[in-house]
Amino acid sequence: MGELFARCWSRTSVNSRAGSHMRESNTADQLVAGDLVGTWRLRSWESREEDGSMLRPFGEEPVGYVVYTADGRMITTISKTGRAAIGGDVLGGPAEARAAAFASFISYSGTFRVEGNDVIHSVEISLFPDWVGGEQRRHVQLSEDRNRLTLSTDPMPSAGRVSRHHLSWDRIEA
């Protein structure tokens, strides 16, 4: 992550009635919501435990995307590579297979806004129902060329432990 750096950010608000972002600053040294707009492909996901150990929750090669739109919407999906099939019934199948599918996939969507050096995801729908109606704060690091993004969490419960998660993304060029 040496090529990444924390930046001084301006606050960008989202006008949900107008469906647009309003930039309070557009200087090169400050993040605005428009810097995030686009599609990003997951490079890595690391979970750093309280004891200093590091885990990769979905293995060495997780697959995922996060999309930020110009009108203030976001969606993310993250999957473990090589997930087992459930059995052909999208709403059925054995309970164990459904539980394994749930434990190897994350998806949520809603709106987003930038506050300082953080992006706040206001969750409207989620595979993990506990997040619906709440907010997910991610600390942002953006490469100077704005093509590599790292989103990090505060300590949060995950798999029975408390961890900080660091997800690195590459911008997908249109």
Give the pairing of strands 63-68 and 38-49.
Answer: antiparallel
* DSSP state letter for 26: -
The per-residue pLDDT for range 66-77, each reduced to its tens digit, is: 999 999 999 999
Identify whether 58 is part of a domain: yes
Q: Which two tokens stand for residue 84?
A: 């087992």
**Domain encompassing residue 150:** 13-171
Identify whether 6 is part of a domain: no
Q: What is the pLDDT of residue 29?
A: 64
Q: What is the pLDDT of residue 26?
A: 42
CATH number at residue 162: 2.40.128.280
Identify whether 5 is part of a domain: no
Question: pLDDT tens per residue, the chain (174 residues)?
Answer: 333 323 322 223 333 322 333 333 344 568 899 999 999 999 999 999 988 899 999 999 999 999 999 999 999 999 999 999 998 888 888 999 999 999 999 999 999 999 999 999 999 999 999 999 999 999 999 999 999 999 999 999 888 889 999 999 999 986
Q: Which two tokens stand for residue 141?
A: 């690091």
Q: What is the pLDDT of residue 157?
A: 87
Identify whether 4 is part of a domain: no
Identify whether 7 is part of a domain: no
Closest CA to 107 of 91, 140, 129: 129
Q: What is the pLDDT of residue 158?
A: 83
